[in-house]
């Protein structure tokens, strides 16, 4: 199996889990925050939904210049799921465009004034910034759900609410 095929297989498997978590986000609680410094539930869910396509797009060119802008807003859980599905399709295309031949190629993250903030091989960008970043925020979302008393789906094994192996 090629390296990009392995990344794509992991993305496909993890995206099914991510979608199960996103399906639980209640539309009537999108503005809820566990703390004033935290993202709202809707902002966090849309961030998770968009990460695969957005961040993998950074790996297609050899650098990405950050330009701040507003985060997309969700009005419903259906918006979040549609964003997730579109993002997954984009991520698959982006990873295929990078291909095995370019995974070792260096990539840079730049500020608008041209300063390099990060530099790493494209494989590291895909693994750490796209994939691991997504898993981190998915775990964060599962805590939000628990605090809202929304049943948390099984992620890597049984949750207190689901035990699929039993």
Q: What is the pLDDT along the chain (166 residues), one digit of tens a residue?
A: 899 999 999 999 999 999 999 999 999 999 999 999 999 999 999 999 999 999 999 999 999 999 888 888 899 999 999 999 999 999 999 999 999 999 999 999 999 999 999 999 999 999 999 999 999 999 999 999 999 999 999 999 999 998 875 5
Q: Would you state the pLDDT for residue 71?
A: 82
Q: Would you state the pLDDT for residue 8?
A: 96
Strands across the sheet with 106-110, in order?
63-65, 106-110, 116-121
Q: Would you state the pLDDT for residue 158?
A: 92
Q: Domains plus CATH for the chain?
A: 3-147 (1.20.120.450)
Summarize pLDDT for 28-61 with one digit per residue, the tens: 999 999 999 999 999 999 999 999 999 999 999 9
Q: Would you state the pLDDT for residue 165?
A: 59
Q: Would you state the pLDDT for residue 27?
A: 98
């Amino acid at each position: 199996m090629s390296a990009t095929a392995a990344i794509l297989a992991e993305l496909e498997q993890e995206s099914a889990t991510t979608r199960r978590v996103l399906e639980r986000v209640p539309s009537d609680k999108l503005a809820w925050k566990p703390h004033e410094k935290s993202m709202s539930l809707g902002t966090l869910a849309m961030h998770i939904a968009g990460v695969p396509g957005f961040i993998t797009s950074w790996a297609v060119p050899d650098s990405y210049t950050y330009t701040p802008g507003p985060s997309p807003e969700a009005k419903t859980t259906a918006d979040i799921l549609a964003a997730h599905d579109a993002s997954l399709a984009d991520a698959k295309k982006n990873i295929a465009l990078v291909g095995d031949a370019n995974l070792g190629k260096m990539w840079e993250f730049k500020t608008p004034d041209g300063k390099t903030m990060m530099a790493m091989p494209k494989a590291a960008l895909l693994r750490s910034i796209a994939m691991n970043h997504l898993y981190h925020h998915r775990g964060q979302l599962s805590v939000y759900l628990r605090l809202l008393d929304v049943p948390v789906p099984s992620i890597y094994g049984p949750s207190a609410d689901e035990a699929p192996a039993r």
